[in-house]
Chain A
């Protein structure tokens, strides 16, 4: 099925460093979402973006909805060990509810303490 292109696939960073990951698509979305999934758990919503160009923060996390509606990025500032996990971007098509999401393949984040 269709998936978003998410990069990088994985990254190792030192505690305290800033992290950046992004997601691109050939399709336009009207909503971009960023989720985090810990081992043995389901994805948990971090940030939701509803307008092109929108920049939204949630604590140390900042995400932006690309102006073309085909991309989004997520930044994590001053990473800590509990930031470890897999981060997914997801896009919602026009006319769909949030239940009909298209996910990227994820960015696996590992932090060295």
Chain B
């Protein structure tokens, strides 16, 4: 089975711009979560999507939004980029939403905001 793939791997934006990051879930996984990992920090939960609907959200402003598609792939959109948005953005997928599932992470998209 294929793992979680993310694109792009690296990108540079300027303050005020918008960015879209993409994620393909592991085969058979219908739940996707997005995390932000700042340099030297642990990942922080942004939100989760299950069956194309948001199923939980962390402490992130509304300019962070997402989509999940019928094939369970997902997008993270960030509007009005700020310098502090520079981070590694991780996508993780799992099967279902019950506890005890294994969360599989992608390698991430590293965003630099200048």
Decide whether A and B are members of one complex: yes
Nearest B residue (CB) for A89: B42
Provide the B94-105 mask, 1 if CB < 8 A to any CB of A, else 0.
101111111101
Tell me whether A44 and B105 are in contact (CB under 8 A). Answer: yes
10 new A-B contacts, CB < 8 A, other than A1-B58, A100-B48, A106-B41, are: A1-B45, A4-B42, A31-B100, A42-B4, A88-B42, A90-B42, A92-B99, A98-B99, A99-B92, A105-B42
Instruction: Quote the shortest CB–CB distance from B35 to chain A (angstroms).
Output: 8
Give the contacting residue for B45; candidates A40, A42, A100, A105; CB below 8 A.
A100
| Interface: A53 (CB within 8 A) | no
Using a CB–CB cutoff of 8 Å, the interface residues on chain B facing chain A are: 4, 31-33, 40-45, 48, 50, 55-56, 58-59, 90, 92, 94, 96-103, 105-108
